[in-house]
Each structure stands twice: as C-alpha cells, then as structure tokens.
Amino acid sequence: MSSTAISTFLPVPAVVPVLDPGFRPAALATRALEREATVPVTLALEQADGSVFHHSMRVLDAAHPAAAANDFFVERLAKFLLWAWGGYRIYVAGPASLAESLRRHYTDTAVGRFDSEIIGKRIYDRPIEVVSVKTAADLPKPHSNTAPLGRHWNGCRIGFDLGGSDRKVAAVIDGKCVFSEETVWDPYFQPDPSYHFDGVMDSLRKAAAHLPRVDGIGGSAAGVYVNNRVKVASLFRGVPPEQFNTRVKDLFLDLRKAWNGIPFEVVNDGEVTALAASMSLGCNSVLGIALGTSTAAGFVTADGNITTWLNELAFNPIDYRIDGPPDEWSGDRGCGVQYFSQQAVGRLIPASGLAIDGKLPLPEQLKAVQAAMAAGDDRAAQIYRTLGTYLGYGLAHYASFYEFSNVLILGRVTSGPGGDLILSGAREVLDREFPELSAKTAFHIPDEKDKRHGQAVAAASLPVVNVTA
C-alpha cells in the first residue's frame, strides 16, 4: 500500500473537526479520486439467498503517477459494501490485478481475515470469495428482496434492546408503553453465557410484572440473527467458541422456551433503529443511526420495508487516513464505531482537556461529559461538535449507498443538549460541502424518552401475535 499515492486523494475538509484535525473523510477522498479516475470498475456482492447488489466506481489508469492508490480505494469500497450490504462472494469487473489484490487482502492481512471470518464464515458459512470478470456485462444481474418489519401492536408485549453497556426493556399494551427500564450491564467480556441469559430474563420478568399477561416478546440486539439464532454478535465475544456454539447460538430460542413458546422475535439492533425512526417520524426512506456503546444502524426503504442488508455501520470505514483510530475488535482503522459511539466520546476526551479518568467505564465517561455539557463547559461542547462534523461527512459517504431523505439519530450519546450540537454540526458540513444532499435531507432527533427507550418499544412490535377475546 502506497501511503504517498493515497495521500494525494485525502483533502483537508472544509469543516475541520475541532478536536481531530487529522480526520480525512471518505466522502471527500472518493470525490477527489473520481475527478482523475478514468477506468470503470463495478463490484457485485452476492448473498446466500441469491440477492446481488452492484456498485460502480472509477479507478486511475495504470499510467497515472498515483495509480498505486487503486488497490486501497477498491478494498475500502469492498469493506464498506461487505458490512453495509453483506455477501460472501465479491465480483470485480475491471482490471484483474484489482481482484487479485483484494483476494490477497482477505487471506494475507489481519483485518482482511477478520472480515472473511465474521462476514464470510460466521454469517454466510463460507469464506469470502473474490471473482474477477472482464466487464460489468459479465456480472450476475442485480436482484434483491425486501420485507416488512414489525409495526404490530395488538395485545400485551415486551420489547427489549441489548446494548454493550445497558439493556433496556419496555412493557406495551395495545401500542401504549406502560413501563420501561434501563439496567447497566457489562456483557462484552463475560465468558459465561448464563450472565447474558439471566440478565435478559431479569429484564423480561420486570416488564411482565406490569402486564396482565405476555402475548409476545420482541428483541433488538447488536449482531446478526437468522431465525432467532445468533450468527455473530459482539455482545458475546467474551464467550469461548465451544460455549458460543452450544449455549449462545440458541440463546433466544431457549428464552422463548422459558416463556412457554410464545411468539418471540429477535433482530439486529440496526433494523430496529430504522423501524423506531420510521414509526417516530411517520415516514419512510429513513436511515436510523444509534450512537451507543457501539454504532447501530438500519434502513427503511421508500416502500417502508427492510432489505437483506447487514447495515453494520460500526465496521464501515468513513475516515481514510492511514493512521486513523483502530477498532478494538477488528483492528481496522477509520471505522464508524470510533466516530459514532461512546468509544468516540472516550477517544476525544483527552483532546478536549476535560479532566475525566480514562480508566472509567465508557458509560461513566459519557456521563461526566454530559454533566460538563449541562454545566456549560465548552470543552464538552467541542466533543459534540466534533461528533457532528464526523456525522456530516459520514452521511455524505452513506448517501452513495443508501437512498435516504430522513436521518434520525438516537442512543445514549445523543441524550441531552449535546444531541442538538451533533445535528447542527452535521448540517453545517452538508450545507458547505454537499448542498444538494443537504437540501433533500431532513434531520430528526427523538425526545429524551425515545432516545433512551425507543428501540425497546419498537422491538415490542416485532412478533405477530393472535389475541383472542
């Protein structure tokens, strides 16, 4: 990888993050490349159900003095597509050398092997495969499936949302939330699956105490779930592999058994983020982003449906500088989790000058920042302004992959007046650098209760239940 060639296409943003001047947005980098690129390349991702998604770009002619940057830009695009859309087979229509470089990335580098293990083997039960074809005409045709999600309110329901620092639960009767609660927990590095099972059961029982009966349970959790089975989830990364296979994969099926087999649905928290956004706003074409312990996101189409996409934006690169902050799990740099989460807040605290102990758990660090913000401390405000700048450039990059007209942000990081600064910072970026996108994008932020518990309430609407009089 030629850092010199890559740096040619990393312009300084017009709006520099106040606490992170080294930030080099992917949106600006790809735009800079596009100005000089002349060689068409199309990537197509194939999923297990036959869905195929295309995305086109241009790369530099081999004679261009910075042509060594091509491999980097193709890999960053493939990375984004893998975690946003999903797929186990990547077709590359263009120079064969690009496909070969991408193939080596997934076998010879640590971050590439991570993607192949998690996306390929764990989610699609096979390693990532890279296929070289000559032209876009040789690619499999685009094909996709969409489906409705949730919006069922009849009966007495429980909804839960499992995050990395807290779990939330809500009791809902015919669409009205009658109880909600947030409980601090620390699931990431717990080796015993009983910790997770018992924690969820505790929350469910507390909610059930506020209902005359329980007709169905819906859940939102970070990770990938297929038919209520855990495929991969950061919440359980402390569980040894053998325990994961025997006790975690069917954790939610076991919970359903404990509740007498009632309707029970668990989906990725990103999808519930999007669902909560769509229901809150009363509209579609929504990209919902939750800034919590990690980054959750989801997308509701113009038809009000969800796709087969993964929408795991925590892993999607939005910063193309070579020395960007690394993700603690994958080790990759410049990925969303370091810009849209409590981890981002913790990373920015030293630069802000706030005297907050970095050894404190991230939720406690965030509370200290929020307290400083409430007290009018501009050092805390600088953290939120920086997050807003990140969000503006991140949305500009996301717009190349998602056709959204509404953006809703929620999650613990957005609680309090800092959330308004995040949105105003994002709007400043779009107004100055991407005015056309700004003109067609509406920003939304839910009220304080919805910020903290909106996903749990939305999750309650997931199961289909039959209630007899």
Structure tokens at 25: 């947005």
191, part of any domain: yes
Which residue do the tokens 């999808």 mark? 271
Which residue do the tokens 């518990």 mark? 453
Which residue do the tokens 């470089």 mark? 101
Closest CA to 208 of 252, 260, 254, 251: 260
288, part of any domain: yes
Assign 432 a pLDDT band (cuts: 50, 70, 90). very high
Q: Rounded CA gap, 398 and 400, in Å?
A: 5
Closest CA to 328 of 351, 355, 346: 346
Q: Rounded CA gap, 352 and 364, in Å?
A: 16
Condensed to tens digits (0 to 9), the pLDDT of residues 252-262 reads 999 999 999 99
* Domain end residue (candidates: 113, 144, 175): 144
- As a whole number, the mean pLDDT across the chain is 93
Same domain flag for 316 and 230: yes
Closest CA to 49 of 312, 309, 304: 309
Model pTM?
Answer: 0.86
Same domain flag for 125 and 227: no
Does the pLDDT at position 112 exceed 80? yes
302, part of any domain: yes
192, part of any domain: yes
Condensed to tens digits (0 to 9), the pLDDT of residues 35-70 reads 999 999 999 999 988 899 999 999 999 999 999 999
**Cβ neighbours for 462, distance < 8 A, ≥ 6 positions apart:** 149, 150, 152, 159, 216, 218, 219, 265, 266, 267, 272
Instruction: Look at 22-31, 100-109, 438-447 and tell me which has the smallest mean pLDDT.
Output: 438-447
- Kindly report the number of other CB atoms within 10 A of residue 203's CB atom: 22
10, part of any domain: no
Q: pLDDT higher for 46 or 274?
A: 46
Which residue do the tokens 């506020």 mark? 210
Assign 71 a pLDDT band (cuts: 50, 70, 90). very high
284, part of any domain: yes
Instruction: Estimate to the nearest angstrom the gap between the alpha carbon of 464 and the chain centroid.
Output: 26
Q: Rounded CA gap, 290 and 340, in Å?
A: 8
Q: Rounded CA gap, 416 and 173, in Å?
A: 28
Q: Rounded CA gap, 89 and 87, in Å?
A: 6
Does the pLDDT at position 467 exceed 90? no
**Cβ neighbours for 350, distance < 8 A, ≥ 6 positions apart:** 358
Mean pLDDT score, 189-204: 96
Q: For position 189, what pLDDT does the model report?
A: 87
Q: For position 276, what pLDDT does the model report?
A: 81
13, part of any domain: no
Query: Domain span at residue 429?
Result: 147-469
Does the pLDDT at position 27 exceed 80? yes
Q: Is the separation of the CB atoms in 345 and 413 below 8 Å?
A: yes
Which residue do the tokens 């996409």 mark? 309
Structure tokens at 452: 């903290």
Condensed to tens digits (0 to 9), the pLDDT of residues 150-186 reads 889 999 999 999 988 889 999 999 999 999 999 999 9
Q: Rounded CA gap, 245 and 380, in Å?
A: 43
Same domain flag for 185 and 243: yes
Same domain flag for 277 and 315: yes
Q: Rounded CA gap, 299 and 152, in Å?
A: 19
Q: Rounded CA gap, 26 and 221, in Å?
A: 28
Same domain flag for 190 and 232: yes
Condensed to tens digits (0 to 9), the pLDDT of residues 290-341 reads 898 889 888 988 888 888 788 999 999 999 999 999 998 899 999 999 999 9
Structure tokens at 130: 């890279």
Q: Rounded CA gap, 227 and 230, in Å?
A: 9
The edge-to-edge listing of strands for the beta sheet with 52-59 is: 52-59, 39-46, 89-93, 129-133
Same domain flag for 109 and 220: no
Structure tokens at 108: 């010879």
Q: Rounded CA gap, 423 and 449, in Å?
A: 18
Does the pLDDT at position 1 exceed 60? no
Condensed to tens digits (0 to 9), the pLDDT of residues 386-400 reads 999 999 999 999 999
Q: Rounded CA gap, 227 and 212, in Å?
A: 28
Same domain flag for 225 and 350: yes
Annotate the chain with three-state secondary structure: CCHHHHHCCCCCCCCCCCCCCCCCEHHHHHHHHHHHCCEEEEEEEECCCCCEEEEEEEECCCCCCCHHHHHHHHHHHHHHHHHHCCCCEEEEECCHHHHHHHHHHHHHCHHHHHHHHHHHHHHHCCCCEEEEECCHHHCCCCECCEECCCCCCCCEEEEEEECCCEEEEEEEECCEEEEEEEEECCCCCCCCHHHHHHHHHHHHHHHHCCCCCCCEEEEEECCEEECCEEEECHHHCCCCHHHHHHHHCCHHHHHHHHCCCCCEEEEEHHHHHHHHHHHHHCCCCEEEEEECCCEEEEEECCCCCEECCCCCHHHCECECCCCCCECCCCCCECEHHHCCCHHHHHHHHHHHCCCCCCCCCHHHHHHHHHHHHHCCCHHHHHHHHHHHHHHHHHHHHHCCCCCCCEEEEECHHHCCCHHHHHHHHHHHHHHHHCHHHHHHCEEECCCHHHHHHHHHHHHHCCCCCCCCC
Q: What percent of the chain has pLDDT over 90?
A: 76
* Domain end residue (candidates: 144, 172, 195): 144
Same domain flag for 177 and 308: yes
Same domain flag for 138 and 210: no
- Kindly report the number of other CB atoms within 10 A of residue 374's CB atom: 12
Mean pLDDT score, 86-114: 96
Q: Rounded CA gap, 311 and 339, in Å?
A: 16
Same domain flag for 43 and 158: no
* Domain end residue (candidates: 98, 129, 144): 144
What is the count of structural domains for the chain?
A: 2
- CATH code, 326: 3.30.420.40
9, part of any domain: no
Same domain flag for 130 and 166: no
Q: What percent of the chain has pLDDT over 70?
A: 98
Condensed to tens digits (0 to 9), the pLDDT of residues 419-429 reads 999 999 999 99
Does the pLDDT at position 452 exceed 80? no
Same domain flag for 255 and 153: yes
